[in-house]
Every structure is written in structure tokens, then in C-alpha cells.
Amino acid sequence: MPAPLTRLLCVGDIHLGRRPSRVPDLSDHGVNSGDLTPVAAWRRVVDIAIEQRVAAVVLAGDVVEADNQFFEAYGPLQAGVQRLVAAGIPVVAVAGNHDVQVLPRLADEIPGFKLLGRGGVWEQHVIAVGGVPIVRLLGWSFPQKVVTSSPLDTVPAPADDLPTVGVLHCDLDVRDSRYAPVTTAALAAAPGDAWLLGHIHAPSAREGRAPRGYLGSLCSLDPGETGTHGAWLLDVNGVHDVAISRLYISPLRWEPVDVDIADLGHPDDLEGAVAGAVQAVAARIADTVGETRAVGCRVRLVGASSLHRAIVASLDRKDPTKLRALIGACVYFVESVVDDARQAIDLAVVAQGTDPPGLLARMLREIEANTEAGERLVRDAARALAVTAHLSPFAPLPDVADMNAVARKHLLRQGLLALEGLMAQRVAP
């Protein structure tokens, strides 16, 4: 199969200077904390770029975690760029909201590092191979931390029919965003054969032709960044013939793990259930685990069981977070256990009583059935939550789209836990 005309190695948010959180000591399994950092992932990007003989490395913003981390980022970024330039591979980047000040300074200090679209002005940069222009990069960089207008309002049309790849750090389909809001419709209408986005850490770009979407973060940074992460290879074969494929090179990965306690016959059975669930995760992600060195699992207990209280009590003496399992070349560990399970309680039976458990059970049944009384309880709770949500400590959090749904969920969850406690007191000697 002939090699593609041009291949670019494209990377989303790297966040040099940041270290992954919630990772235990895995040195007994041959994995050190430094092996799981964005710096380690960036070094692997450089290795792959040289191995693949790519025409350029493209960075979609937030290369650095924060503007005050010049020195933390300078060493590893400079070393990587120097290796790439020595191999004849240019590095082109746009600045994101995290590195709006520091990335221009780094670009000025590191030869061979091209910052595209300084000052929020669109810029075009042509990548040539053997002196022949092959692909145009069209980029825009954050001029300041807060940008409330869409950069695509001023995007220029390409000057000729050279294949064009747009590179942009932005917030897609987030109304009133402070970070360069862009709509899907505007992105679809923007000129170019591909658009590579930074800012959101969950990748949304689709493998295949004419990609337009988020590259995602290079390295998983916390338990909220689940699933696959890494870099992308972009093959440019000509105008309207651009395709992208994934490289699973994030050294750290996070996965949710559900354990249904309804299947447990004894509290001590939880140990085997958690170990089995982790094994199941390893089997499920085997095709996409790539070069991952460690997988963190956040275990969630679900379902209903008469053993619920005993199972939760057993967590203190049978701590699943001590689990370490070497599966293939990857170490799996349990980061935490979240209890979303409940005691198996027949609400209809309990609701027949006249005591406090009976009263609470009737209220929960009203909420579950969406009766008028139940909806009234939900509305009252939603109003109380809305008041709290508008307090200054919670101002940075995003607005809740459906406060009633949130209130209903919490009323049911906390009500069932309270009922479980009341039922335990009822049967206590």
C-alpha cells in the first residue's frame, strides 16, 4: 500500500506542568509516577513523530497547564522540539486559554516552534515536503484568557486549492462561553478539509475522512477523564482527501466499574466481584488500551440487596482500593468505591405502616410515581437547590439544565438511605 502524500501528528491539550491526580504508588509493578505524566506522553509523541517521519507536529492549544509554569514546561518542550527539528519536523501550535501568555514566550525562546495566529488574528502556514507545498494549516490563538465571540466569524477563505487543515482552541455549542464559543453549524461551514479542535478533554473527532472535532487531551489527567486518550495521525492525500486515525498512547487511563450487589450472597463476596469486574474491564478495553501503563478504576456499587448495610460496612476491613492487578503489560488499580446501591426494601409494604418509616416510604412512592404530591415535593426541593446554586461559592459551576430532575434524583437517593437507616433501627434489639 503506498504511503500517504503527507502525514501530520496532531495533539490536543497536553497541559505540561500538571501531574495526574488520585494515582497510588505503583512502583512495585514497575510503574513510576513520572511514567504517567503529560511530559512522558509528550516524549512519546516526539518518538512516534520521528519513527513515522511525519511532515509536522500540530498542537491544538493548552500545551502548558498554566501561564505561571514557564520553567516547568520549558525543559521538556524545548527538548522535544529540538529532537523534532533535528529530524526535519516542524512544530506548529495555537495558544489556548490556559497558556495564552506563556506559549508565545515559549515560542519566542524555542527555535523551530511556530505559534500560529498570535493575538487572535487568523494565520496561514504552509507545510512543504522537499520544497513542494503540501498542506496549509489555518490557525487562531487566544489573545487573552476570555474570548466571548466566535473566532470563526473572521476566518478567512483559503488562498488557493491547497489542502487546508484548521486548528482552533474553542468551546463548541456552549452558549455564552468565555472561551471562544463556536457552533456546530459554523464549524461545518468553515473552509477547509479538516478542523482539529482543542479545549475539551473528551475526544469527539471521528476516525476517517474530513474530521471536525476535539482531539481530546493527550493524557488522562483525573478520574473524570474516562476512556481513550492520545494523539492522532492525519493523512493528507490531496484536496478533500484528508483522513485521521487514533494513537492510543496515553500512559494513564480511567474507567468506571459497576458492581451489582444484588448478585452477592455474602458481604465477603464483594472482593471477588470487584476483582472480576476489573478483569471484565481489561477484556472490554483490550483493543484500545494501546500503550497505557496504568488503568484506574472507580468502582460504583449498584443494585439492591438485603445485605447492603453489611456490604458497605465491610469496605473498611476489605478495602478494594488496595487492589493491584497486572493484566498484560498494564497495571489496573481501584481508585475509589462509590456507594450507589441500596437496601432491598419493598416500599409498598413499608408504606402501610403509620410509623416514620411508613411515612417516608409513602413520600418516596409519591415521588417515584410522579403524583401531584410527589411533584410538589420535587418542586420545593428544586427551589431550595436553585437558591444554593446561586450562592457565590458555586458561581464558577455550569448552570443546571433541569433542576427538577436533579432534585428528584437526590430526593429518591437520600430518602432511600434515610429509610434504610430507619428500618435498621426498627429491627435493632
Half-sphere exposure of 211 (CA within 13 A, CB side): 24
- When the pLDDT of each residue in the chain is averaged and rounded to a whole number, the result is 93
Average of per-residue pLDDT across 100-125: 95
Q: What is the pLDDT of residue 158?
A: 82
- Report pLDDT for 170: 98
Q: Which residue has the higher pLDDT, 423 or 168?
A: 168
- 173 sits in the region (left: phi over 0; alpha: psi -120 to 50; else beta) called left
Work out the pLDDT band at 429, boundaries 50, 70, 90: low
Strands (DSSP E) found in 210-367: 212-214, 231-238, 241-247, 252-260, 294-302, 304-305, 324-327, 330-339, 342-343
Band the pLDDT of 1: cuts 50, 70, 90.
very low
Q: Is the pTM of this model over 0.75?
A: yes
Per-residue pLDDT averaged across 101-123, rounded? Answer: 95
| pLDDT > 90? residue 425 | no
User: Tens of pLDDT along 13-70?
Assistant: 999 999 998 999 999 999 999 999 999 999 999 999 999 999 999 999 999 999 999 9
Q: What are the tens digits of pLDDT across the range 129-168?
A: 989 999 999 999 999 999 999 999 999 988 778 999 999 9
pLDDT tops 70 at residue 4:
no
CA 189 to mean position of chain CA atoms: 27
Q: Percentage of the chain surpassing pLDDT 70?
A: 97
DSSP string, 117-173: SGGG--EEEEEEETTEEEEEEEEE--SSS-B-S-GGGGPPPPSSSS-EEEEEE-EET
Closest Cα partner for 166 from 190, 132, 144? 190
What mean pLDDT do residues 386-407 have? 83
All three cell numbers of 350: 413499608
- List the chain domain ranges: 6-247, 252-427
Sign of the CA dihedral with 36 first, then 37, 38, and 39 last:
negative
Res 206 pLDDT > 50: yes
Radius of gyration of the chain (CA): 26
| Cell (9 digits) for 384 | 431550595
Task: Specify whether the CB–CB gap between 45 and 248 falls below 8 A.
Answer: no
Nearest CA among 91, 54, 60, 240 for reference residue 162: 240
Provide the pLDDT for residue 83: 97
CB 371 within 8 A of CB 360: no
User: Does the pLDDT value for residue 399 go beyond 90?
Assistant: no
**Most confident of the ranges 288-297, 381-390, 393-402, 420-429:** 288-297
Query: Cα 191 vs. chain centroid, distance in angstroms?
Result: 28
Can you identify the CATH homologous superfamily of domain 6-247? Metallo-dependent phosphatases (3.60.21.10)
Residue type, 84: L
> pLDDT for 161-203, tens place per residue?
899 999 999 999 998 899 999 999 999 999 999 999 999 999 9
The string over 19-37, giving b where at least 16 C-beta atoms fall within 10 Å of a residue's C-beta and e elsewhere, is ebeebeebeeeebeeebbb
- The answer to whether 232 touches 273, Cβ cutoff 8 Å, is no
- End-to-end CA gap in the chain: 77
